[in-house]
Structure 1
Amino acid sequence: MAALAVACTVVACSPVSNDEGGAKSGEDQAAGQDNFGTPADPAAVKKGGKLVIALSAEPDALDPTLSRSLYSRYVFQAICQKLYDVNEQAQVVPQLATALPSTSSDGRTVTIPLRQGARFADGTPFDSAAVKATLQRHLTNARSARKSELGPVETVDTPDANTVVIHLKQPFAPLVGALADRAGMIMSPKALQSLGDNFANAPVCVGPFKFAKRVPQNSIDVVRDPNFYDASKVNFDAISWHILSDASIRAANLRSGDAQVADSISTQDYAALRGDSSLTVLQSQSLGYQGLTFNIGNVDGVGTPPKPINRPIAQNAKVRQAFEYALDRKALVQAVFNGLFAPACSPISPASPFSSEQAQTCVPHDPAKAKQLLSEAGAQTPYPVAMLISNTPDSLRLAQALQAMVKDGGFDLKINPVEYSSLLDEQDRGNFELLQLGWSGRIDPDANITNFVGTGGSQNVSGYSNPQLDTVLTQARQSNDLEERKKLYGQAVAILQQDDALIYLYRQRNLTAVSQKIQGLQVFPDGVIRAAFAGFTK
């Protein structure tokens, strides 16, 4: 067996930032520089206490098979370890596996060695049978959000308790990246057997903490798990996530000491929080994007075959292209986010090794061209569009800026704000015309594209289907050659910009404020708050 080419040459050893070193102290951190945080010094932190994190939105189902939101990944990081993780340089590293996978010469057989002696929170052993049960559930559950992430997995074998062998129908370059996210979170077979589709009510995995309780729309609590294989490195007795959708309230809780961490701080609060000597602001460039998704075929719900929708904006790409020409991305990020975020025109980050000039091609702001395309499409002007968006203050400011901006291009944008959890439900059901939502991003571009725009993708809420795009994405999935994949993703971006089912708008920075009373909390480019091994300063 040879070392898996993708794991090192493409995924595991590919940084996504030109910023070397990464972590810097709050004192010497300049605006816009990455600061991932640093691991805790065991001699400088004390055991015990409860960490309170002010969270900007409620996580969806705490079930690795079903979950779709970034916020559930914060909780999973504490309770559900994965076969692989990513480090601050966005490189894949083993977690419940003991080494990067090896693969056969034809790229279709992948072997993963597993950690020995680990136990789930319910005391049952972690082994190859548990990995197989989890992967099979991801592949067969009717509501699975992981199926398309795992691509052409055909069978899973368990030659012994400490080895898993995955057989693929064809080579699949993104597999390791997928196993470094929710697809690689291994669930207790005992809990799966007893809870079934209600696993999220009492999730059981391998982790530093274990699930304690959830109060919907309010909080999620976890407590230290004595079964964890590295329990001596865990400092907190408990972690509690408090759902506070208003960024100003999160900041107030941080200043008052009611919370020690606040995620997704507003760019409006950034300067003040960064200037507060009692706080540190961790920041990094997101691997993902924020975008605008049109419903062009999601009639019966995500995952069902696309059906025609009797709206010009769904039927005619020229109307959607007109909307993109009406957008001024640079002006938008400057006005709404004080220039802290960056315009985005594709799902490929400019810092990614998979980026290319073609992948970064951007449609210019041209309101006259927008009106011309509306005229060519025979659409009325102003053309009315209803947009579903989260009801947070920052999202509403974005919506209002978009509303004013696209008016010059011939659009009348109506804003429909809803709670984040409702937004996820409505998008899945197809109850929208246009919605604003983003993706926190993954290290392999396939995970930022195929699931959302590939035919039948488990998060293709647009109902978009283009066989030409599917062919290009499949070729990219099967190639281990970096240059070939770069070329193919450039072609994919060109197709996406012609069809405009999803318009990429801007790329966030991950902004997390942390009390100086806490050491060891980290946030990497994947956007996940890593609090499991942090602690209170002595």
Structure 2
Amino acid sequence: MHRTGRGSRPGAPPAGPSTPLATGAARRRVRRWRAVPSTAVLLALTAGCASLSDPARSAVTERTSDDRPVRDGGTLTVALKSEPDKLDPTLAETLVGRTVFAAMCEKLYDIDRSGKIVPQLASALPRTSDGGRTVTITLRRGLRFSDGTQLNARAAAASLMRHRYLPGSARATELAPLKSAVAAGPYTLTLHLAQPYVPLTAVLADRAGMVLSPRAVKKYGKNFSNHPSCVGPFKFVERVTGDRIVLKKDPLYYDADHVHLDEVVFKPIPDGSVRLANLRAGDVQVGDQMDPVDVRSALTEKNLQLFASPSLGYQGIGFNVGNTRGLGQKPGKIDTPIARDPRVREAFELSLDRDVINKVVFQGMYAPACGPVSPKSAIAPAAPGCPGRDLKKAKQLLKEAGVKLPVRLELKVSTSPVDIRFGQVVQAMAKDAGFAVRLAPTEYTTMLQETDAGRYDAYSSGWSGRLDPDGNIASFLGTRGAMNTYGVSDPDIDRLIAEGRATAGEKARARIYADLTRRIRDQHTLIYLYRNNNYVVARRDVAGVKVYDDGLVRVKEAGYAR
């Protein structure tokens, strides 16, 4: 599951009445599975998968863009893995939502195909003074929001302060050091920080750096997500819940000459095989977050092409250890074996085999992982050795913890076939150690709301990732983290997060994040299991699509090949 990452992140804020998310029966769509395949069956599946996955994996090379010339005009339909959450950059959390934003809401900064941060709405990289506590950003001139309002320093300052202080903001932790943002001139933005903040530029290369039309924010207020207005190649037209989000080319966009399409339509299609069938039929032209089994199939199709890049994020399982009152509230106590004793959580982790999960569920096309920092990060600590499956030790830990067997818990997963398959494999492995896992496949947006509210034992948790390691950790595992769905509260983790944010120098920061990774792993609250690749399949007649390490499908320069 990917949250804005929680796109593959764990959860979005509870939808208010104005939020066009699934309602009624769809929101309550929760099923429970108890059938557990044997470990012997899993090992047999593993043997079968190995021979299939190796040729496919060797045929998949990193390819992030298609630079063929395109013609003007036409509509491009992009199939998303799930329904996006709120189309409000302050509140949004999902990866699929970030892909929609990439088409309509530009940021102060962006990343290029090499992963380097580059100016976007800003005209240059930030300048710092006062020991890193004052940051000056110069904006590009002559830019207009989709509603015609001029983008200037006052608009940028207002957006940053909204991202920082709006109740329920998913950006609050990312911008926690920000004390104030002011317009020092028409196009000069000055940020005053409580302390030096090394990750700031990377933070402003994502949703915290999106600038919103002040006119639209004032006019629509809490209903802004139904009328989003930013600076971007396409502007919002309509959203039909569960069916489509429609954007049209914005004639006010400053770089409109490089925008070729008339319209972009985003359609949520959770089942990867259905996304692939729609691609084959031509009903959609681009499929995001394609499952490995569908990637293998697409490689043999002459009318389809594949884009692939490594992920900056992670996927795994998160446990509720203290989320008793919902996001943003002080963590409390949960009296269950899995919540109160890290030995029980460690035993659960030791019941799992990352290599088998990768082969059985993902055709061997992902990479096992056991930490929050992507190897792609410039300050990634030395890769920790992932613990192997150790049933003997797992059973001993449960004995030491004095828990009654089997240890019962519910695991929420989304309703996509691959996520259910993941849950079934985890369920089978955990049974061998003494756990009775009940699967609860849950409609995606409902799962986000329930995990945010703390109504869960464990869930399939993930994040699409950020260039700076802080973006993979602070919001999720800091005591006051804006997306701390787990209820984690650990003074050592909080201290190391603060040190990582304030320390300059790659070697020094790498040491801090190595210590932080060890402390996180000691807690066993978020079990990192694998790091997916970004697989996007498009029809062969589509060109100009870009897919970088952040996993976003960029369609600004996309179109139909000449």
TM range (shorter): over 0.9
Per the alignment, residue 19 of structure 1 pairs with: none
Q: Letter of the aligned partner of 1:434 in structure 2?
A: A
Q: Normalising to structure 1: TM-score of the pair?
A: 0.93
CA distance in 2, matches of 1:159, 1:496: 41
Question: Map of 1:68-467 to 2, 5 A cutoff?
Answer: 68-104=93-129, 106-357=131-382, 360-467=384-491
CA distance in 2, matches of 1:299, 1:500: 19
CA contact (8 A) 2:164 2:176 kept: no
Per the alignment, residue 517 of structure 1 pairs with: 541
Q: Letter of the aligned partner of 1:47 in structure 2?
A: D
Distance apart, 1:105 and its partner CA:
5.2
| CA deviations over 1:124-153 (Å, ceiling 9, x no partner) | 100001101101111111110001001311
| CA deviations over 1:471-498 (Å, ceiling 9, x no partner) | 0110010011111111111111111111
SS in 1 for 2:59: coil
SS in 1 for 2:273: helix
SS in 2 for 1:150: coil
Distance apart, 1:395 and its partner CA:
0.3
Per the alignment, residue 47 of structure 1 pairs with: 72
Q: Letter of the aligned partner of 2:398 in structure 1?
A: L
Per the alignment, residue 514 of structure 2 pairs with: 490
CA distance in 1, matches of 2:60, 2:247: 33
CA distance in 1, matches of 2:476, 2:190: 28
Change (3 A) 1:351 1:45: closer
Per the alignment, residue 63 of structure 2 pairs with: 35
| CA deviations over 1:18-54 (Å, ceiling 9, x no partner) | xxxxxxxxxxx95342110134x4xx31111100111
The structure showing larger relative contact order (alpha-carbon pairs under 8 Å, at least 6 residues apart) is: 2
CA distance in 2, matches of 1:134, 1:31: 44
CA contact (8 A) 2:337 2:407 kept: no
CA distance in 2, matches of 1:47, 1:98: 28
CA distance in 1, matches of 2:351, 2:178: 42
Which is further off, 345-354 or 195-204?
345-354
| CA deviations over 1:158-196 (Å, ceiling 9, x no partner) | 111111011111100110011000000100000000111
SS in 1 for 2:174: helix
Q: What is the alpha-carbon root mean square deviation over aligned residues?
A: 1.3
Q: Report how many aligned residue pairs link the two structures.
A: 507
CA distance in 1, matches of 2:258, 2:237: 20
Which is further off, 267-276 or 126-135?
267-276
SS in 1 for 2:132: coil
Per the alignment, residue 499 of structure 1 pairs with: 523
SS in 2 for 1:106: helix
SS in 1 for 2:344: helix
SS in 2 for 1:347: coil
CA distance in 1, matches of 2:433, 2:549: 35
Distance apart, 1:396 and its partner CA:
0.7
CA distance in 2, matches of 1:194, 1:268: 46
Q: Letter of the aligned partner of 1:381 in structure 2?
A: L
Which is further off, 503-512 or 269-278?
269-278
Does 2:87 correspond to 1:62? yes
SS in 2 for 1:408: helix
Q: Letter of the aligned partner of 1:354 in structure 2?
A: I
Change (3 A) 1:30 1:531: farther
CA contact (8 A) 1:350 1:360 kept: no
Stretches of structure 1 that go unaligned for 5 or more consecutive residues are 1-28
CA contact (8 A) 2:258 2:556 kept: no
Distance apart, 1:524 and its partner CA:
0.4
Distance apart, 1:90 and its partner CA:
1.2
SS in 1 for 2:242: coil
Q: Normalising to structure 2: TM-score of the pair?
A: 0.89
Distance apart, 1:361 and its partner CA:
3.3
CA distance in 1, matches of 2:183, 2:537: 44
Distance apart, 1:266 and its partner CA:
1.5
Stretches of structure 2 that go unaligned for 5 or more consecutive residues are 1-56
